[in-house]
C-alpha cells in the first residue's frame, strides 16, 4: 500500500490546501556538485522560474534546453501556527523524472516517476508561524530501469544528453502544481467506488480507508445540493433512487462527502465529484451503462509553447473546446498520466479517457516509430535490469490507479505503449502488469496496451492479455506512403483480415494513425507533408475502419503538433497534429469534423 494519500488537495472544514505555485529560485547543476556545495540549504544565484512548467523553453541557450542532469528549485513557505498539531504535507503533482525534497536543510522525501504525485510529510520538520526553506533536486536522466525508457549518454565535451526511446521531447522539472497541505492526524486516506445500475436506481459500493478507528459517514448530494443518499461505516452501499447517470457529453456529477466523526465532533471531511456509470466489454462491444459506444478522438500530449509539458489551465480549456467542436468523445493520455485537472474537466464535459501509465520506450530504439515497422527485434525484456524496470512499472501503475480510479471519465487502463512483444520474455512481464491492474481496480475496467507496427498476428505474443486490442498503425505514412498509398491500403486490409481470422471476439481500437502535415503546405496533386495528403490519408484509413465491424474506435495521432527530439525526420517536432501546436485547425480537422459529427455514438452496435 502507498505510504501517502493520492487524493487531490482540497480545502474543507478540516483541511487546508495552499498553492505553492509561482516563481521559484532555479539552478542547473552542470558541475554536479549541488550536494557537496550544500544546495540543500539554499541554492546559489538569483534566477527565477515559473512552477508549474517545464524549464527547457524559457531560455535562449541550447545547452539549457538540452540539459540532462540535476536541476534545483527553492521556495520559502510560511506555515501558519494554527496548523500545529495537524499533519503537514508538501504535495508535488509531478517532478520529472525523480526528485529529492529538503526542508530547512534536511532530506525529507524522494520519489521516482515523473508523471504522478507524491507527498513529503514535513510535520516534524517545519517551524510554525515562520518561513521554511523548501529545496527540491529534480533529475531528468533517462534509463532502462524506469519509465519512460531511454538512455543518457555523455558527449565528448562532458555534457550529458538524453536519448529517449520515445518520440516526444524529454520535458522535465516541476511540471505540475505544488501544494502545502494541512490535514488532521486522523484523516481520510483513500476510497474506492463501484457501481451497479438497477432500472432507474443505482447502488454505489464504497470502501473508505482512514488513518484511525473513528466512525465514518458518507453522504451523496445531487447537482442541486440535495441529499441523494447517506450511509455509515467504512464500507457499505449508497442507495440512489432515480439516479442520474454519467453519459458521454451529458455528464451528471454528484458530490460525495466523506466524514470522520467522534460523536458530534468532526475530525475530517473530504469531498469529490463523482459520476454514476458502468463500463464493461461484451463481445466486440465497449459498453457504457450497458449501451455500446464508438470512440472518436485523439492520442494527445501535454505539450504547448513556452511551458512545454507544464500544466496550463487555458490550454486545457482550448483543447476541450476544440475536441467538442470536432465531434470527439474520447482521448488516450499518451504516453503518461496527465495533470489531475484534465481528468476533472473530462468528468464535467463527458469525455471518455483511456488512461495510460508512462510505460513508453519498452523497445530499445532511438527511432522505434520507424524501426518497429521493419520487424526489428531488440530482446528488450531479456535484460538483466528487467526486474528493476518491472518494479518501477508496477509502482507507477499502483500510483496511477490509486490516483484516477474514481474518475467517471476513466473507462480503461493502457498499461504499455508500443512495447516489444515478439519475445517469450515479454509474456511473464505482461502477465504481472495486467494481473496487478485487475487486482488494484475494484471496478475491473478493461485493460489494454498499444501494439506497435510489428506486433501482428503470428508475431505478437502478448495481445491475449488485452480486453481491448489497441493498434498503432501507419500504413500510408511509415509504410508505403505517398503514391504507394494504394498498396498501403492493401497491406492494411491484409493485416486486419489476419486479425479477423483469429476470431478473438474483442473490440479493436485504433489508438494511433496519422500523417505528418505542415500547416503551411498545400500541393496539388498531393505530396507527403501537404495538407492535401493528410486528407487523402484520412479518407483511406476511414474507409478501412468502416469495413470491419469489430473496429469500435478511432483515435487519430495526434490532437496537436508537439515537440520531439531534433532530427532529420522531424521538422521542429512531430507534425501529425490535426491542429497546430498553437491549436489552430489544419484542413484535416474539417474532414474529421464532418465524419465524427455524423457517426452515431452506437456506431456498429
Q: Give the closest residue to 225 by CA, choosing from 255, 250, 259, 202.
A: 255
In the DSSP assignment, the letter for residue 467 is S
Catalytic entry in 219, 512, 535, 554? 512
Q: Give the closest residue to 268 by CA, choosing from 208, 205, 200.
A: 208
Name every residue whose Cβ is closer than 8 Å to that of residue 401 and which is 6 or more positions away in sequence.
413, 437, 440, 441
Is there a catalytic annotation at residue 512? yes
| Cα separation, 100 vs 95, whole angstroms | 9
Q: How far is CA 527 from CA 253, 434, 517, in A?
A: 47, 42, 10
Q: What does the H/E/C string look like for 281-308?
A: EECCEEEECCEECCEEEEECCCCECCCE
Catalytic entry in 141, 399, 418, 554? 418
> Helices marked H in 425-484 — which ranges?
426-440
Residue with cell 496496451: 449
Is-contact 113 147, C-beta < 8 A?
Answer: yes
| Cα separation, 441 vs 282, whole angstroms | 19
209 exposure class (CB count in 10 Å sphere: 0-12, 13-18, 19+)? middle
> Helices marked H in 353-484 — which ranges?
368-371, 386-404, 426-440
Compute CA 235 distance to the chain's CA centroid, rounded to the nearest angstrom. 29
Give the catalytic positions in this structure.
Answer: 418, 512
Amino acid at each position: 500500500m502507498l505510504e501517502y494519500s493520492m487524493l487531490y488537495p482540497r480545502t474543507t472544514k478540516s483541511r487546508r490546501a495552499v498553492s505553492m505555485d509561482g516563481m521559484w529560485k532555479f539552478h542547473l547543476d552542470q558541475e554536479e556538485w549541488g550536494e557537496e556545495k550544500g544546495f540543500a540549504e539554499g541554492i546559489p544565484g538569483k534566477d527565477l522560474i515559473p512552477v508549474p512548467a517545464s524549464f527547457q523553453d524559457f531560455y535562449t541557450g541550447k545547452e539549457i534546453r538540452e540539459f540532462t542532469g540535476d536541476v534545483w528549485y527553492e521556495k520559502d513557505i510560511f506555515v501558519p501556527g494554527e496548523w500545529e498539531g495537524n499533519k503537514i504535507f508538501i504535495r508535488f503533482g509531478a517532478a520529472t523524472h525523480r526528485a529529492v525534497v529538503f526542508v530547512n536543510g534536511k532530506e525529507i522525501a524522494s520519489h521516482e516517476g515523473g508523471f504522478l504525485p507524491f507527498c513529503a510529510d514535513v510535520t516534524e520538520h517545519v517551524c510554525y508561524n515562520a518561513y521554511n526553506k523548501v529545496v527540491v533536486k529534480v533529475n531528468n536522466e533517462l534509463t532502462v530501469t524506469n519509465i519512460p525508457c531511454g538512455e543518457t549518454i555523455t558527449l565528448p565535451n562532458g555534457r550529458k544528453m538524453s536519448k529517449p526511446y520515445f518520440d516526444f521531447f524529454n520535458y522535465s522539472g516541476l511540471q505540475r502544481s505544488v501544494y502545502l497541505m494541512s490535514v488532521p492526524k486522523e484523516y481520510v486516506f483513500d476510497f474506492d467506488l463501484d457501481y451497479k445500475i438497477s432500472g432507474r436506481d443505482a447502488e454505489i459500493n464504497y470502501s473508505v480507508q482512514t488513518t484511525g478507528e473513528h466512525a465514518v459517514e458518507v453522504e451523496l448530494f445531487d447537482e442541486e445540493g440535495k441529499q441523494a443518499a447517506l450511509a455509515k461505516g467504512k464500507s457499505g452501499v449508497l442507495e440512489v433512487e432515480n439516479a442520474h447517470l454519467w453519459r458521454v457529453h451529458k455528464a451528471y456529477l454528484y458530490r460525495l462527502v466523506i466524514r470522520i466523526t467522534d460523536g458530534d465532533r468532526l475530525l475530517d471531511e473530504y469531498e469529490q465529484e463523482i459520476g454514476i456509470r458502468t463500463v464493461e466489454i461484451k463481445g466486440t462491444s465497449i459498453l457504457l451503462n450497458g449501451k455500446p459506444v464508438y470512440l472518436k478522438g485523439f492520442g494527445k500530449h501535454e505539450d504547448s509553447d513556452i511551458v512545454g509539458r507544464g500544466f496550463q489551465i487555458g490550454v486545457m480549456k482550448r483543447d476541450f473546446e476544440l475536441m467538442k467542436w470536432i465531434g470527439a468523445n474520447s482521448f488516450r493520455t499518451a504516453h503518461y498520466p496527465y495533470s489531475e485537472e484534465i481528468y476533472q474537466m473530462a468528468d464535467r464535459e463527458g469525455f471518455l479517457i483511456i488512461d495510460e501509465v508512462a510505460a513508453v520506450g519498452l523497445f530499445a530504439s532511438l527511432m522505434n516509430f520507424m524501426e518497429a515497422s521493419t520487424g526489428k527485434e531488440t530482446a528488450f525484456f531479456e535484460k538483466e535490469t528487467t526486474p528493476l524496470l518491472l518494479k518501477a512499472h508496477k509502482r507507477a501503475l499502483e500510483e496511477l490507479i490509486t490516483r484516477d480510479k474514481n474518475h467517471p471519465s476513466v473507462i480503461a487502463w493502457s498499461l504499455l505503449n508500443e512495447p516489444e512483444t515478439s519475445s517469450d520474455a515479454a509474456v511473464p512481464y505482461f502477465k504481472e502488469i495486467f494481473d496487478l491492474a485487475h487486482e488494484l481496480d475494484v471496478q475491473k475496467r478493461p485493460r489494454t496496451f498499444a501494439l506497435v507496427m510489428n506486433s501482428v498476428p503470428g508475431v505478437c505474443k502478448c495481445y491475449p492479455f488485452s480486453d481491448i486490442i489497441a493498434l498503432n498503425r501507419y500504413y500510408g505514412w511509415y509504410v508505403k506512403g505517398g503514391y504507394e498509398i494504394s498498396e498501403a491500403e492493401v497491406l492494411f486490409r491484409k493485416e486486419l483480415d489476419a486479425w479477423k481470422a483469429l476470431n478473438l471476439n474483442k473490440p479493436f481500437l485504433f489508438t494511433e494513425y496519422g500523417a505528418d502535415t505542415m500547416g503551411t503546405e498545400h500541393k496539388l496533386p498531393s505530396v507527403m507533408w501537404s495538407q492535401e495528403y493528410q486528407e487523402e490519408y484520412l479518407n483511406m484509413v476511414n474507409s478501412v475502419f468502416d469495413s470491419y465491424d469489430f473496429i469500435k474506435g478511432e483515435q487519430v495521432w495526434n490532437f496537436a503538433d508537439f515537440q520531439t527530439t531534433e532530427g532529420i525526420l522531424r521538422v521542429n517536432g512531430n507534425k501529425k497534429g490535426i491542429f497546430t501546436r498553437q491549436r489552430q485547425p489544419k484542413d484535416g480537422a474539417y474532414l474529421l469534423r464532418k465524419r465524427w459529427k455524423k457517426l452515431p455514438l452506437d456506431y456498429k452496435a
